[in-house]
Amino acid sequence: MCGIAGILDPTGDRSLDELASIAGRMADAQAHRGPDGRGVYADPDGGLALGHRRLAVLDLSDAGAQPMASADGRFVLCCNGEIYNHADLRAQIDAARAYSGRPPIVWRGHSDTEALVETLALWGPEEGLSRCVGMFALALWDRRERALTLARDRMGEKPLYYAARGGRLLFASELPGLSAALDFSPGVDKNVLALYLRLSCVPAPHCILSGVRKMPPGRLLTLRAQDLASLPEPKTYWSLKTVAETGLAAPFAGTDEEALDALLERLRASVRGQMLADVPVGALLSGGIDSSLVTALMAEAARGGAGGPVRTFTIGYEDAAYDESAQAAVVAKYLGTEHTTLTFRAAEALELAPRLAQAAGEPFADASFLPMLLVARLTRGQVKVCLTGDGGDELFAGYNRHVHGAALWAQFSGVSQGLRGAAAGLIQSLSPRAWDRVFRILGPLLPKIARQRLPGEKLHKLAAALSVRVAPAFYAALVSAWPDPGLVVPGAAEAGWALRHSATWPSPSLCPEGGTAWMQYLDTAWYLPGDILTKVDRATMRVGLESRAPYLDHRVAAFAWSLPPHMRVRGGMGKWALRMLLDRYMPHELWDRPKMGFGVPIDAWLRGPLKSWAEELLDPERLACEGYFEPAPVARAWAEHQSGRFNRQYRLWPVLMFQSWLENAGISG
């Protein structure tokens, strides 16, 4: 895991030393991503320079340093990520060269980067990447053709930003890497700002800065000098839509037990592959289904090995409404892991909150970014690599909207608008806090499936969705922070996202709108890479920790899409397949509990210790002067929140994170 950066400037306006200096400065702005080494490469003939910051995980010697040239010297690679099947790729390369009569490669070391650069050199970027199992964002320079290829992994685990200006191209792992280039000073894209207010993140290909793009997952872009005036669209080398349609069109034909066995073998292979490293490896364990199954498979793989028990890490809360640490400790004890818990203390969190936007490098408003940063810091103190349960919810139907949302849409989509409006009014007649009290009183009488954290918030979100007429609007209501962000950002026309691009969805005959699979697809297309994986990448990389996600092995993902519907949702519960697998490893009473998530009490903090900080950032005169937000709707949300009747943290936090980022970004209104 590393930080990459570079500049392609065929104009001839800069000397080789200047190009190298720019690339080095861009890389150094991301030094937290790679504290173990620094490398710069500059091509005297191509007007190109690459910068790299290294987090050494495989082959800790200089043989694994980057930027790395291919054995024949034609290609130079700068990569952030891990290629888990690098040993198999070496064998494929040796066999292919022997078959064609070419001399064997004299391998310099055992890094995955060396295997990757030779794979791309032998088969080209598109076929080469199709052979890779892993996560990556990379830049490949072809010295002979003077062509630069940028690419991102299939699921979007690793980030890559790029921008063309004045006949030059800049790229970097994080936005501050681009900003480190001397003449890089774009303004805020208000259309993207409106989208950010809706989603609390900025999904690819958009970026908060005008003219900057994020490489979408599963895409690559090859550029020559003549392409820099008007950048072409990236090319798809792996398609989520194709994978989903293939799986849905030909569901697994065997028995449930056979499907579970096949899934287990794929997960075992993924976990074993991702446990390989030349540094200590651990796991983030919440005690929920996804992370518990990953930990169980790690413990199984480690059993009998010389490395000792698996090390696991979790975060606990002083507030019992958010605390899952006791559950995680029970799972860890049963699995025999060496477990560490960090208690999430309000004082430490409050001190960190105003610096979250700086740590993210861009506006990012998932409040769980804060505890993620803290648990990453804890974990990095003992290991350098951690496995996570990310992707389990999206691929195996783990969110409430996959289960209850889809069922509700099927039930009320044919009900009259009048009846739906009446139901919404009834729900909204009580405040979220009042509903929470009702659920506490009725708690012992409610089925386990109805015991949710913050039920009042969920009911009010449902009420907002009841009046819509079509499935896309229903989904939008479930995931939106601001229901109409165009009214908050003056002069903005909200940028498009996955929900607005129906041509990219799987065929309706295979994946009906409003259904579980359809919602899973949308979540995998934008929410997983735009929010979840962004959060994990920025938090772990901030402290030089590499995170790996076994569920996101593309072979596991493809198999997940082939599971029949009843193996996704059954008996009103999601992730049925993962539940059944976890049952094979531990008693279900150890892990079978309501989903709590990874939240923090932002709502209470904004009425208490963070109130003065927030009021300064949300001052109406300040907002009016800057020109990014209409002061009136923000002031109304703030007043409603302070009244205690409503929890408006989901509207206020995106505004606060943007304002905080703006303070440090050097951008004026």
State the Cα–Cα distance between residues 298 and 60, nearest whole angstrom.
23
In this structure, the strands spanning 311-317 and 338-344 are parallel
Q: Are strands 147-152 and 168-172 parallel, antiparallel or unpaired?
A: unpaired
Q: What are phi and psi of 359, to 5 degrees?
A: -65, -35
Length of the chain: 669
**Ordered strands of the 235-236 beta sheet:** 68-69, 75-83, 134-142, 147-152, 219-223, 235-236
Q: What does the pLDDT read at residue 351?
A: 86
Residue 326 is predicted with a pLDDT of 86
Spacing of C-alpha 106 from chain mean position: 37
Q: Which two tokens stand for residue 498?
A: 């996955």
Contact 74, 35 (CB under 8 A): no
Q: Crossing angle of helices 554-561/240-249, nearest 10°?
A: 40
Query: In sequence order, what are the residues at sequence separation of 6 or more whose Cβ sits closer than 8 angstroms to the Cβ of residue 415?
Result: none
pLDDT at position 447: 62
Condensed to tens digits (0 to 9), the pLDDT of residues 557-592 reads 999 999 999 999 999 999 999 999 999 999 988 888
**C-alpha distance from residue 469 to each of 354, 427, 458, 511, 564 (Å):** 40, 19, 20, 19, 28
Question: Smallest Cα–Cα separation from 526: which of 177, 204, 296?
Answer: 204
Residue 173, φ and ψ in degrees, nearest 5:
-70, -35
Residues 6+ apart with CB under 8 A from 661: 208, 357, 358, 360, 362, 363
CA angle in degrees (0–180, nearest 5) for 660-663-664: 100
- Amino acid sitting at position 479: V
pLDDT at 302: 92
Burial (Cβ within 10 Å: 0-12, 13-18, ≥19) of residue 413 = middle
Distance of CA 213 to the CA centre of its chain: 16
Task: Give CA–CA dist 137/146, Å, rounded.
Answer: 20
What's the CA gap between 76 and 486, in Å, rounded?
A: 44
Q: Rounded to two decimals, what is the model's pTM?
A: 0.95
Sequence-distant (≥ 6) Cβ neighbours of residue 307 within 8 angstroms: none
DSSP E strand boundaries for 471-583: 546-548
Q: Longest Cα pair distance anywhere in the chain, in angstroms?
A: 78
Check residue 317 and give its pLDDT: 74
Assign 3-class secondary structure to 558-582: HHHHCCCHHHCCECCECCHHHHHHH
Residues 6+ positions from 509 with CB-CB distance below 8 Å: none
Q: Is 540 exposed, middle or buried (0-12, 13-18, 19+ CB in 10 A)?
A: buried
- CA 290, CA 522: separation in Å to the nearest integer? 20
User: What residues of the chain score a pLDDT lower than 50?
Assistant: 669
CA–centroid distance for 468 within its chain = 29
Using CA atoms, how far apart are residues 377 and 351, in angstroms rounded to an integer?
A: 15
Q: Do the Cβ atoms of 398 and 290 come closer than 8 Å?
A: yes
CB 553 within 8 A of CB 510: no
**Cβ neighbourhood burial of 286 (10 Å; 0-12, 13-18, 19+):** buried
Residue with tokens 């976990």: 271
Residue for token pair 């009244």: 643
- DSSP 8-state secondary structure symbol assigned to residue 74: S
Residues 6 or more apart in contact with residue 176 via CB below 8 angstroms: 29, 30, 361
What letter would DSSP give residue 215? P
Q: CB of 547 within 8 A of CB of 536? A: yes
Q: Output the CA–CA distances (angstroms, integers) from residue 317 to 5, 535, 536, 560, in the order listed.
A: 38, 19, 19, 33
Residues 6+ apart with CB under 8 A from 229: 164, 167
Please give the distance of CA 321 from its chain centroid, rounded to a whole number: 25
CA-based nearest residue to 536, from 57, 157, 31: 157
Report how far Cα 484 is from the mean position of its chain's Cα atoms.
24
Structure tokens at 484: 């109409």
Q: Cis before residue 216, ω within 30 degrees of 0?
A: no
At residue 450, the pLDDT reads 57
pLDDT (0 to 100) of residue 29:
97
Alpha helices, DSSP H only, in 133-189?
175-179
Residue ranges and CATH numbers for the domains of the chain are 2-185 (3.60.20.10), 241-396+525-590 (3.40.50.620)
Bond into 506 cis (ω within 30):
no
- pLDDT value of position 596: 57
Amino acid at 386: C
- The rounded distance, in Å, linking the Cα atoms of 563 and 569 is 11
